[in-house]
Amino acid sequence: MLKKTTVNFLLVLSFISCTTSKNIKNPPFSIVKATYINWYGGQEGVSGIRTEIEIADLKEKIDFKYLYFKNKKEALITLTKKGIVLTSNINTSTRQTSLQMHRDPKKEYGNSLPISKTKFPFELKENEAIISYTLNKKEYFYKLELKKGKNLFYP
């Protein structure tokens, strides 16, 4: 009986460890350069993080999806003018905006959606990020380090 319980425990533990690894693998591309900058707007509380990740040696057709960074999930934009560059702009603004409530829903245009408090799926260090991408209809994740650039201040 003790053997069966131990085997079941180990089996469950192996499934848990597989799901928490989140399928992080060596990707079919290489990272040339990965940076981020903090930017600050001309008004109090307006700020964000701009990321740029240069990709090389792309061996297969990949659909880059999201960047997980600083406890945020943001869509990746793929630019291809000078090679392949993945960018994202993460909003870190603390400025409070008031909601416009009205009987006519058209008058509520411009209200932002409430932010959900879902648990962040990865434990990352300060400068670590995860890229999610799909290859052959399967989702993959790749962990990388981003180097911090100089802060940018807008007037």
Q: Kindly state the average pLDDT of the residues 48-65.
A: 92
pLDDT averaged over the chain? 81
Lowest-confidence region among 34-38, 77-81, 137-141:
77-81
Is the pLDDT reported for residue 1 higher than 80? Answer: no
Position 91 in a domain: yes
pLDDT value at residue 126: 92
What total number of domains does the chain contain? 1
99-143: per-residue pLDDT in tens?
Answer: 777 888 888 787 776 666 667 788 899 999 999 999 999 999 999
pLDDT value at residue 102: 80
Q: Tokens representing 146?
A: 């981003």
Sequence-ordered list of residues with C-beta below 8 angstroms from that of 83, at least 6 positions apart, any chain = 32, 54, 55, 56
Position 12 in a domain: no
Position 104 in a domain: no
Domain containing residue 133:
24-96+119-148
Is the pLDDT reported for residue 155 higher than 80? Answer: yes
